[in-house]
Amino acid sequence: MSSAPPESYAPRAGLGVRVFQNTVAQLGGRVLGLFFSAGTSILLARYLGRELLGQYGAIYAYLSLYGFFATFCLEQILAREVSVRRSQAADLFRTGTLAAFFFSVAGAIVAPLFAPLFGYSGALRWLIVVAAVDLLILPPFKLPGIVFQVDMRLWYTVAIGLFRQALWLLAVLLLAFKNAAFYQVIVARTLCGFVELAAVLWAIHRLGLVRGPARFLPEEARRMLRDGFPLVLTSLAGGIYHRIDQVMLHKMSGDRVLGPYVIAVQLTELFSALPVALMASLFPALSQTAKDPERFTRYLRESYRFLLVLVFAACAVVTPIAAPAVELFYGKQFLPTAGLLIVLIWSEVPVFFGVVISSAMIAKQLQKFLPFSTVAGALANVLLNLWLIPLYGALGASWATVISYSLAGVFFLLVFSEIRPMIFLGLRIALWPFLLAVAITVSLKFLPLGFWWKLLIAAAAYGIASWFTGALKREDFARLREMFRLGMTRA
């Protein structure tokens, strides 16, 4: 049996301060990561061009459909169990890793096997095999890194993630400089995955956060897999409605049409880092207060309010500057990305909402309801893409994404009485920021102003209006200053 970590490693600050410290670390890392990701995206786009970039996006979008195989969705199950049984961490991680590895190998075999059915043949099929090592084989061995989340020391996760992003950016720079072949891009990304794994295991060993001999517990493995199965169904359906649009565009419209869409998706998903950052910090607290309705609701309300204000701010700011920003950074060949981005940015609203509600449901052990909503979203996405892609191409896929995300992330969950109060809480909080974002977006559309003026006006108008409508409050800034002071004192 493993022992608890030494006292010097145990978090001593209050829960709110610890959550704040981890969220600041996550957000700070995400801001830096945003620059790395944006730089890599721009380099890849200019280096590969529209068609090869479409192939690149198509490979990783296809493998994402099999993402549930990688860890059998045990991440949050392990986070929950290790949070309440910290002394058994070594056994739990060993059990989870070995249980997940069986499925990851199965996924790495199945994905290339079925690839020709989706239009991936010849060299693309072999590149799928190489990329599957990174996306499917390596993730089970990274599961012990969950201990950084459990111990609220997420700055290690952030540092390792930034290290991988920097390494990948450097690799793309070298590849572009040497005008390397396309297959070398896939190989380089896979090698970055091995380096990331080594960094995770080294940090855990150096800090001694998971100590003692580790055993495989068959009964525990069966229970984990049973608890994780609803999340597997959710991940399978989620992979479909998150990535099937790119796979369908690859097969139905070709990679030249897919290329600008890949850029729009990448830019949109940069914002997805924000809810992940907050909820990764807050999930242990939600799990520990799941049986205390008052405290649980308070954490949930603050999560909604913080994230929904941010996501509608992104919608209000991105829409008026999309076209000049895309032309400036990606060039005229990717100008169609702007129109796609203006639509896709609104899909982040249900993404932000869904991250909060899914974390709350898992903390409350209500994850059995998650597959229903994601299956509904996946079916809606496939049907909408079948209808809209032949008519409107990538723009049709963009609208299919917004509609299906909203269905799966928000509205379908209203069917379940156990979840309905949590959904209504989020919808009430979302009302004013939504109206503000729509009003600002529509107003700026008709103003003949330049790039920077629209950016400044949108940001200022949203901030001022949020203050007067109560979406932002004076006590928020006071609390933020106090938590920052405590966080820096106790860090």
Which segment of 27-31, 151-155, 346-350, 381-385 scores lowest on mean pLDDT?
Answer: 27-31
Which segment of 283-297, 448-462, 468-482 scores lowest on mean pLDDT?
Answer: 468-482
Higher pLDDT pick, 23 / 434 = 434
Higher pLDDT pick, 64 / 479 = 64
pLDDT score of 15 more than 50: yes
Specify the pLDDT at position 392: 92
Specify the pLDDT at position 481: 58
Please give the single-letter amino acid code of residue 433. Answer: P
Nearest to 301 by CA among 420, 426, 411, 478: 426
Mean pLDDT to the nearest integer, 124-152: 91
Please give the single-letter amino acid code of residue 330. Answer: Y
pTM of the model: 0.76
Decide if 283 contacts 149 (C-beta within 8 A). yes
Q: For the chain, what is the mean pLDDT?
A: 84
Specify the pLDDT at position 190: 97
Nearby residues of 449 by Cβ (< 8 Å), 6 or more positions away: 457
Specify the pLDDT at position 452: 75
Distance CA 278, CA 154 (A): 11
pLDDT score of 169 more than 90: yes
